[in-house]
Amino acid sequence: MNKQKSLITLATVACLAACNPAKEPMQKKDVQLITVAPGHFHAALVQKTMYPQVDSVVHVYAPEGPEIDAYLALIDQYNTRTDNPTSWEEKVYKGNDFLEKMLEERKGNVVVLAGNNQHKIDYITQSLDAGLNVLADKPMIIDADGFPKLKQAFSTASEKGVLLYDIMTERYEINTMLQKAFSQLPDFFGGLVTGSADNPAITKESVHHFFKEVSGKPLSRPAWFYDTKQQGEGIVDVTTHLVDMVQWECFPDQVIDYEKDIQLVGAKRWPTTVTAAQFERSTNLREFPEFLSGSVDNQGNLAVFANGEINYTLKGTHAKVSVIWNFEAPKGAGDLHYSIMRGKYANLIVQQGAEEQYKPVLYVESTGERDAQAFEAALAKAIEQLGSSYAGLKSEQVAAGRYRISVDPSLVTSHEEHFAQVTEKYLDFLQSGTMPEWEVPNMLAKYYLTTKALAEAETVAAP
């Protein structure tokens, strides 16, 4: 009876989110941003460009400290750049009562959240209760205790006629888009295989770095970024993107029911070691703060559980996602990504390594089900089918049965540019007053899996 009731609730939330219009569709300049506690640079990246629907005045509420200063410095950098400068006008309130002040004043209608994840679901909940739309950086929750709150948040959003959405930038990476597009051509791909736990049908792996550059300058991390109780472990953070892409690519436009469509096979987690010198270089702090003391070993190094792996099935198809955090990439390198979708006739592989100059590239390779001539003919037909949607689409043979796929450079956008693309999609939702019916249940499915995997991984001894 409880399961049946839960399924009915899920279906109701999905229908209301998709079908219930917001108060009124928003028109040009009707969107007024409120940025709350922008402790992560992603908050500023939402404003790296201007939008015709969005007022240039942004009201910001945050506690005093280096995080708000870093956010404002990035906005100033965008406003004063030579090439296509922005024209944001930041109205800032600083104080420990920043959330209460924001809710009291309500000087906008879209709350942007990107910062400390420990309290993010509470900020989301209170913003929705106040009748405000919310665009939130991932992850919206970082543990299983947050999942019931997230379910309630989506119910509240539908009741209030507002939209809650998370920032899934990787849907806008051109090679991921092409991987999805090729997989939807049955005559070429042959359909996704079922796979197994040892050899999944789809695998996504991501390597990130604590020390990096953002908008051309070294990034200073807040100390809490290294505290998994505040940032969240890697298995519930970056894997949010990976799980989202598995759902988005394998079962596009389909509603996923987390209670019946997802089966967790196994999960594990392990720490990254960060030295005191590395921590200082990343945060500009000479000592570990007290809240990290329990994670410092006898040698004075910090153990951060930033790495994780999830094995699961989605609608019976085996999938695996994994994330690794190193401190810094080798010189000339950067973040890494690997993904494979295995079909009957072809494998679709995105690689981002030294051979690709650390930029993602899509390869298609024959599985051997067809002879070389038949595979090449099928690939040529697939290129022709997709060519009208992707300018300059072409293939180049790099080995027997393996081809590199490329498009016109104008279609290649950077990770930082993807934030504007996500925001533009969200603005479209606001203007129409609706989201596709699958978005809400699939967000719930995504966070159900990541938080359940964390709970499972915590029962397994770290390697």
Residue 208 belongs to some domain of the structure: yes
How far apart are alpha carbons 390 and 42 in whole angstroms?
28
Please, is 271 exposed, middle or buried when counting C-beta atoms within 10 Å of its C-beta (0-12, 13-18, 19+)? buried
Note the pLDDT of residue 26.
Answer: 58
Q: Tokens 């010189």 — which residue? A: 331
How far apart are alpha carbons 439 and 355 in whole angstroms?
36
DSSP string across 279-292: HHHHHS-SS--GGG
> What CATH code is carried by the domain that includes residue 133?
3.40.50.720
| Model confidence pLDDT, tens digit, residues 381-402 | 999 999 999 999 999 999 999 9
Q: Which two tokens stand for residue 104?
A: 């009291």
Q: How far apart are the first and last CA of the chain?
A: 41
User: Number of folded domains in the chain?
Assistant: 2
| Model confidence pLDDT, tens digit, residues 109-164 | 999 999 999 999 999 999 999 999 999 999 999 999 999 999 999 999 999 999 99
Please indicate, yes or no, whether residues 187 and 293 belong to a single structural domain of this protein: yes
How far apart are alpha carbons 306 and 236 in whole angstroms?
9
Please indicate, yes or no, whether residues 187 and 331 belong to a single structural domain of this protein: yes
Residue 103 belongs to some domain of the structure: yes
Within 10 angstroms of residue 394's Cβ, the number of other Cβ atoms is: 13
Please indicate, yes or no, whether residues 403 and 431 belong to a single structural domain of this protein: no
Closest CA to 231 of 287, 188, 274: 274
Note the pLDDT of residue 95.
Answer: 98
Rg (CA), the chain: 22
Note the pLDDT of residue 16.
Answer: 44
Residue 322 belongs to some domain of the structure: yes
Please indicate, yes or no, whether residues 274 and 139 belong to a single structural domain of this protein: no
> What CATH code is carried by the domain that includes residue 323?
3.30.360.10
How far apart are alpha carbons 422 and 141 in whole angstroms?
19
How far apart are alpha carbons 390 and 372 in whole angstroms?
25
Element (H, E) at 128: helix 120-129
How far apart are alpha carbons 270 and 303 in whole angstroms?
9
Please, is 186 exposed, middle or buried when counting C-beta atoms within 10 Å of its C-beta (0-12, 13-18, 19+)? exposed
Please indicate, yes or no, whether residues 14 and 151 belong to a single structural domain of this protein: yes
Residue 336 belongs to some domain of the structure: yes
Q: Which two tokens stand for residue 272?
A: 């990254």
How far apart are alpha carbons 213 and 181 in whole angstroms?
31
Please indicate, yes or no, whether residues 163 and 197 belong to a single structural domain of this protein: no
- Helices 372-387, 174-183: axis angle to 10 degrees equals 120
Please indicate, yes or no, whether residues 183 and 115 belong to a single structural domain of this protein: no
Q: Which two tokens stand for residue 265?
A: 């096979």
Residue 440 belongs to some domain of the structure: no
Residue 442 belongs to some domain of the structure: no
Task: Print the domain residue range for 144.
Answer: 2-168+416-435
How far apart are alpha carbons 262 and 56 in whole angstroms?
42
Closest CA to 79 of 218, 212, 215, 172: 215
Closest CA to 317 of 249, 235, 236, 237: 249
Please indicate, yes or no, whether residues 324 and 368 belong to a single structural domain of this protein: yes
Please indicate, yes or no, whether residues 182 and 143 belong to a single structural domain of this protein: no
> What are the percentages of helix, strand and coil residues in the chain, rounded to 5?
40, 25, 35
| Model confidence pLDDT, tens digit, residues 332-372 | 777 789 999 999 999 999 999 888 988 899 999 999 999 99
Question: For the chain, which residues score pLDDT lower than 70?
Answer: 1-29, 461-463
Closest CA to 43 of 28, 55, 61, 21: 61
Please indicate, yes or no, whether residues 176 and 232 belong to a single structural domain of this protein: yes
Please indicate, yes or no, whether residues 326 and 299 belong to a single structural domain of this protein: yes
β-bridge mates for residue 165, sequence order: 135
Tell me how far the alpha carbon of residue 367 is from its chain's centroid: 30
Residue 460 belongs to some domain of the structure: no
How far apart are alpha carbons 202 and 309 in whole angstroms?
13
Element (H, E) at 124: helix 120-129
Assess contact for 36 and 92: CB atoms under 8 A: no
Note the pLDDT of residue 24.
Answer: 59
How far apart are alpha carbons 16 and 262 in whole angstroms?
23
Residue 140 DSSP one-character state? S
Q: Which two tokens stand for residue 335?
A: 């973040």
Note the pLDDT of residue 25.
Answer: 58
Please indicate, yes or no, whether residues 128 and 91 belong to a single structural domain of this protein: yes
CA angle, corner 134, sides to 130 and 139, nearest 5? 125
Residue 444 belongs to some domain of the structure: no
Give the CA count within 13 Å in the CB-facing half-sphere of 189.
23
